[in-house]
């Protein structure tokens, strides 16, 4: 059952991908990733939002190559959103979205003391919270972070 669903979704994703740009009226969705970064030992909210920090989205494309496909700067509440157009060759239709959000450590001690003495990166997987159709942007897959984990590199 689960694997049949997975296969079906994969097929849909593949069809969407292969028909993209061939005038069939089917396009890959763009991706919108949102989340929050807070001044806690894990970087996860709730907590005091961290302002002005760069958050990157790395995705692995259909060729298995991982690149940074977008980035955003947190606002004063620690909120960020990263929009990625549908042209980057990523199979967004897959059940598991092959992307991760990351924040480079350490952070500025003025901005967040608790994360200013640790190295590595804060990284989070992402999960879909649904597809919307936007009149100007077309299909948009809304995605949220699952929670930061500190990775030492
Ligand atoms: C947040 O950071 C931006 C620059 O990244 C700065 O212009 C703004 O004043 C900061 N806001 C607060 C409330 O610190
Ligand atoms: C994200 O991708 C860039 C290459 O675009 C790479 O240099 C960086 O190490 C990656 N970051 C993570 C956390 O995988
Ligand atoms: C997304 O974030 C940018 C700053 O990175 C901000 O200018 C923009 O208003 C945000 N958009 C939404 C829909 O929250
Ligand atoms: C940060 O962005 C979020 C989502 O758009 C918004 O709710 C919040 O008010 C923003 N914070 C500031 C200080 O602009
Ligand atoms: C840390 O942030 C403060 C306030 O935004 C700034 O004045 C200072 O130059 C920053 N320090 C570094 C090392 O970036
Ligand atoms: C479509 O997206 C744009 C840009 O983010 C936004 O300004 C607009 O309100 C959205 N429209 C709908 C119907 O969601």
User: 37 or 96: whose pLDDT is higher?
Assistant: 37
Give the closest ligand to the alpha carbon of residue 30: 6
What is the rounded distance in angstroms from the CA atom of residue 62 to the CA atom of residue 53? 29
What is the rounded distance in angstroms from the CA atom of residue 109 to the CA atom of residue 124? 22
Q: Interior CA angle at 66 toward 60 and 72, to 5°?
A: 90
Ligand 3 within 6 A of CB of 73 = yes
Tally of domains within the chain: 1
pLDDT in tens, 48-71: 999 999 999 999 877 888 999 999
The alpha carbon of 111 and the centre of ligand 1 are apart by a number of angstroms equal to 10
Boundaries of domain holding 86: 4-151
Name the nearest CA neighbour of 107 among 42, 31, 60, 34: 42
Of ligand 5's atoms, which has the minimum distance to the CA of residue 111?
2
Q: From start to end of 22-137, where are the E strands?
A: 30-36, 54-60, 66-73, 79-84, 99-104, 121-134
Instruction: Give the CATH number of the domain where residue 27 resides.
Output: 2.60.40
To the question of pTM greater than 0.85 for the whole model, the response is no
Give the closest ligand to the alpha carbon of residue 35: 4
Residues 6 or more apart whose CB falls under 8 angstroms from that of 34 comprise 79, 80, 81, 82, 142, 143, 144, 145
User: 25 or 44: whose pLDDT is higher?
Assistant: 44
pLDDT for res 24: 41
């Amino acid at each position: 059952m689960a694997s049949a669903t997975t296969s079906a979704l994969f097929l849909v994703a593949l069809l969407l991908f292969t028909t993209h740009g061939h005038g069939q009226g089917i396009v890959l969705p763009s991706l919108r990733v949102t989340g929050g970064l807070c001044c806690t030992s894990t970087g996860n909210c709730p907590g005091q939002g961290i302002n002005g920090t760069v958050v990157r989205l790395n995705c692995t494309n259909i060729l298995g190559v991982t690149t940074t496909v977008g980035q955003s700067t947190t606002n004063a509440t620690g909120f960020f959103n990263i929009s990625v157009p549908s042209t980057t060759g990523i199979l967004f239709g897959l059940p598991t979205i092959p992307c991760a959000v990351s924040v480079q450590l350490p952070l500025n001690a003025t901005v967040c003391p608790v994360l200013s003495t640790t190295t590595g990166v804060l990284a989070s997987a992402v999960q879909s919270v649904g597809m919307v159709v936007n009149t100007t942007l077309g299909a948009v897959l809304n995605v949220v972070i699952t929670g930061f984990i500190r990775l030492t590199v």
